[in-house]
Amino acid sequence: MSKKDIVFCKGGGCTAKLGPGVLNRVLERIPKKYDENLLIGFESSDDASVYKLTDDIAMVQTLDFFPPMVDDPYTFGKIAAANALSDIYAMGGEVKTALNIVCFPEQMDLNILGDIIQGGSEKVTEAGGVLSGGHSIMDQDVKYGLSVTGIINPNKIYQNNGCKVGDKLILTKPLGVGIISTANSIFFVFDLGLAIFSPLIFNMHFY
């Protein structure tokens, strides 16, 4: 299967995630082990976990991967890597190492996989981290992401539930980019005209 034969966009990006309600019903069954050094675990639904190593250093870890939301493999690799790396930044941490997570069809052109990993590797390097390994499995669809480890000061952690009235929000790009990308891919798959739905899309983009 060559690059021209692949239909990348089937509902990728973060729209491929399971809903929080579904996850909560599963996670609430898992026994919780108390560890005073685990500062942030899965019960807080934060961007990453944080484990205290010393009074000044904690390890911050995240794992994020998803199906493609763009048609270009190299660009997809960069987006998926940046998405995983951003979880470390969101907590206030510094990226150190990353591991590739790859799901890839056995019959597909390996050059596609090479482009994806190249894009991801470049983003890891840009973040100041080291790509130290990874794991791959055969799958019917392409999926890619990273497991990222960083360090953080345990007294300077940013959590996603700590916002207060008066705090300033800094947007690094327009809201709704994921909605538009997903809508575009859905319309492509069903051979519908994007122009027909553009008023709806742009209303969703800003609200």
Given a contact cutoff of 8 angstroms between Cβ atoms, the answer to whether 128 and 85 are in contact is: no
Interaxial angle between packed helices 177-189 and 194-206, expressed in degrees from 0 to 180 and rounded to the nearest 10: 160
Given a contact cutoff of 8 angstroms between Cβ atoms, the answer to whether 62 and 88 are in contact is: yes
Q: What is the DSSP string of 113-131?
A: HHHHHHHHHHHHHHTT-EE
| 9: annotated active-site residue | no
Of 9, 14, 103, 163, which is the active-site residue?
Answer: 14
DSSP at 170: -
Q: Give CA–CA dist 7/189, Å, rounded.
A: 9
Which residues have a catalytic role annotated? Answer: 14
